[in-house]
Structure 1
Amino acid sequence: MDCSICSAMPFILRPPRNTICAACYEGARTIITLTTNKVDHVENTKGSDNKTITGLLSASSSNPSIKGFGNALKWVKEMKEMEEESKEKLNYLSGFVVALRDHIHTDILIKPGNDAPSIPAHRALLAARSDIFKNILDSDGCKAPPSNNTITLSELNYDELECLLEFLYSGDLAKEKVEKHVYSLSIAADKYEIPFLQKFCENQMLGSLNTSNALDVLEISDTCSNTSLKETALNFIVKNMEDIVFTARFDAFALKNPHLTVQITRASFIDIKNRRLTV
């Protein structure tokens, strides 16, 4: 059988990459097993991993065949150290979430728009996360005595506000919370100019884009003036017109967003025209 690895044929004439001979297959298995065992050894012998890698790199001068393997182990070790450092930083920053949850030295109240209880927060952190919040807190109203020590975010209900604050304090949010509140959080991120949250919500919407939520994503991207997200959603809708347009959801969407409906129609005609030209 011709092999895509050891064949003597020119590269362009070789068989597909998944076609290999028995000898190359066994060789690949051996390398994977050896690499896995070495990586496990490096991770389980933290006191001697530097010696292990140094020894391999030193031996490469007399045996070049193991140079690549030594470099690979060194790279794995560096990646492992970077991962551990990132985890330590996240654990360190989690103290902010504790301060929010336990109301440690809070100095401002954030009130949602559904007459739910206010949530205590910290002026300094809000100001650091958003220039809009900073301007609000610098205004005369928020510099007044404690009786006026409240900010109302009328567009958010209690759960949405709680998620917004949790993200501002931690830089992350549980998957189920993101899925439930991604649209309201995206609008809040745009209104209060929180770029990291905007990108976070955009990635979530792109990752979960399907025929049942494409219209919602298009509407949110238009509201937030997110050009790249809007273009992606619009293209997705055009590619899946039959599954999206002939639904009750589209009827309600068209009544609420006539300008977006026009854009969908135009994009669909352009797509049809381009496909005809390529035939």
Structure 2
Amino acid sequence: MEERKEEMNEKLGFLESLVVALEDEIHTDILIKPGIGPPIPAHRALLATRSEIFKNILASDECKAPAEDSISLPELTHEELKCLLEFLYSGSLPLEMAKQHSFALLIAADKYDIPFLKKFCERQILRSLDPSNALQVLEVSVACSNGILREQAMNSIVRHVDEVVFSSSYEEFALKNAHLSVEITRALVMQTRDRRDGATQCVEPS
């Protein structure tokens, strides 16, 4: 067990050298521009190995050769882009970073086809799911076509309907997501019907 633990620590230390290359801008050859904030230098080869979408973008004519070239990820802020790159280089994120940026990173992982990051964000979002963020999780699940998050968010909303529906964010959510509001209403009606039918079955005929 100790030998295996030591081997794992050595492996992690070896992988951390990639993060150092990112942070110290060692032989970086591409600039990644976020929608908000300054660009971040990175390495084409690593981006291409982490995502087929990035690989295709970097192979396009306008991105060949010069080190001054850049690509834009306009949906991300500088901080979100920083988190995305750290994950691509290291395969993990500090807990606070993961909590703060999991929604944006999930959308990016879906858009740029990064399955490992999608799973990472999905687990993080499920751990933090509660009535206060269930509507946001439902919105994100639809944007990313994530059935697991969608089901769990809907279940949380139905279980805590008073807390969710009478919250300050529900009216804004309903105005932006009429179709999801309909789904919530139908789920609540089905729950009420199931309870009523269950109660009826428990009543013995006189």
TM-score of the superposition, structure 1-length normalised? 0.69
SS of alignment partner, residue 31 of structure 2:
strand
Q: Indicate which of 156, 160, 167 corresponds to 2:87.
A: 167
- Structure 1, unmatched stretches of 5+, are 1-76
Alignment of 1:86-235 (within 5 A): 86-114=8-36, 116-143=37-64, 145-147=66-68, 149-235=69-155
Amino acid corresponding to residue 217 of structure 1 in structure 2: V
Q: Indicate which of 167, 188, 192 corresponds to 1:268.
A: 188
Q: Indicate which of 258, 267, 270 corresponds to 2:178.
A: 258
Q: Could you tell me how far apart the structure 2 residues matched to 1:96 and 1:144 are?
A: 22
Question: What's the counterpart of residue 197 of structure 2?
Answer: 277
Q: Could you tell me how far apart the structure 1 residues matched to 2:97 and 2:170 are?
A: 26
Q: Could you tell me how far apart the structure 1 residues matched to 2:96 and 2:66 are?
A: 39
Larger strand percent: 2
Superposed CA deviations along residues 31-55 of structure 1, whole A, max 9, x for unmatched, are xxxxxxxxxxxxxxxxxxxxxxxxx
Q: Could you tell me how far apart the structure 2 residues matched to 1:178 and 1:122 are?
A: 23
SS of alignment partner, residue 215 of structure 1:
helix
Residue 181 of structure 1, CA deviation: 1.0
Amino acid corresponding to residue 169 of structure 2 in structure 1: R
Q: Could you tell me how far apart the structure 2 residues matched to 1:81 and 1:233 are?
A: 42
Max Rg structure: 1
Residue 118 of structure 1, CA deviation: 1.3
Residue 273 of structure 1, CA deviation: 1.5
Q: Could you tell me how far apart the structure 1 residues matched to 2:193 and 2:8 are?
A: 50
SS of alignment partner, residue 155 of structure 1:
strand
Question: What's the counterpart of residue 202 of structure 2?
Answer: none
SS of alignment partner, residue 41 of structure 2:
strand
Question: What's the counterpart of residue 204 of structure 2?
Answer: none
Superposed CA deviations along residues 218-266 of structure 1, whole A, max 9, x for unmatched, are 1101100001110011011101101100112000100011111111111
- Structure 2, unmatched stretches of 5+, are 200-206
Check 1:167–1:137 CA distance in 2 against 1; reply closer, same or farther (3 A cut).
same
Check 1:278–1:86 CA distance in 2 against 1; reply closer, same or farther (3 A cut).
farther
Superposed CA deviations along residues 106-156 of structure 1, whole A, max 9, x for unmatched, are 111101112x22111000100000000000001011015445x10011111
